[in-house]
């Protein structure tokens, strides 16, 4: 069973969704329906408080992926935060950290969204994660933060700031 509560953070465009319980194959349908209702209602910037989320199945990861893709098509953003250690480990082990914006606290999640909004206004899209193209082989690479990276296709070294 999952309990889903949502509200705007005072004075912001950021919508906070609190998840309680677990997301399995049956509760994932309810989660997806509610999240898409919020998005279809005009919400573009969502932070997910997962402090009380105790379990997530592959169906739950699928819903997060759907939400992430839908928001990206709207130039929106989702950040997941307060994951319990076991669920955070699953995100990392499965490589989902490359696809989702993860934060430890609400303050970090809000800061990430605010930075994204500010960069969207100024036209500088330096927010991470971002997709870049290798200058050598044109392979697309997902970059999580500034630093040096090796292209997975041609092994060229890329420096991102």
Rounded (5°) CA angle 44-45-51: 135
pLDDT: which is higher, 125 or 118: 118
- What tens digit of pLDDT does each residue of 19-74 get? 999 999 999 999 999 999 999 999 999 999 999 999 999 999 999 999 999 998 89
- What tens digit of pLDDT does each residue of 62-83 get? 999 999 999 988 989 999 999 9
pLDDT at 123: 59
Q: Give the mean pLDDT of the chain.
A: 89
pLDDT at 135: 84
2-124 has CATH 3.40.50.10330 classification = no
């Amino acid at each position: 069973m999952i309990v889903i509560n949502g509200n705007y953070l005072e004075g912001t465009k950021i919508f906070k969704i609190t998840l309680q319980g677990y997301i399995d194959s049956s509760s994932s349908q309810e989660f997806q329906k509610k999240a898409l209702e919020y998005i279809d209602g005009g919400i573009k910037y969502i932070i997910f408080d997962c402090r009380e989320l105790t379990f997530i199945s592959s169906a739950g990861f699928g819903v997060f992926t759907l939400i992430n893709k839908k928001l990206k098509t709207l130039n929106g953003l989702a950040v997941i935060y307060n994951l319990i250690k076991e669920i955070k480990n699953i995100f990392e082990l499965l490589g989902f950290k490359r696809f989702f914006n993860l934060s430890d606290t609400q303050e970090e999640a809000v800061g990430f969204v605010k930075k994204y909004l500010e960069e969207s206004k100024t036209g500088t899209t330096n927010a991470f994660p971002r997709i870049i193209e290798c200058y050598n082989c044109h392979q697309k690479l997902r970059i999580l933060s500034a630093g040096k990276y090796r292209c997975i296709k041609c092994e060229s070294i890329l420096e991102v700031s």
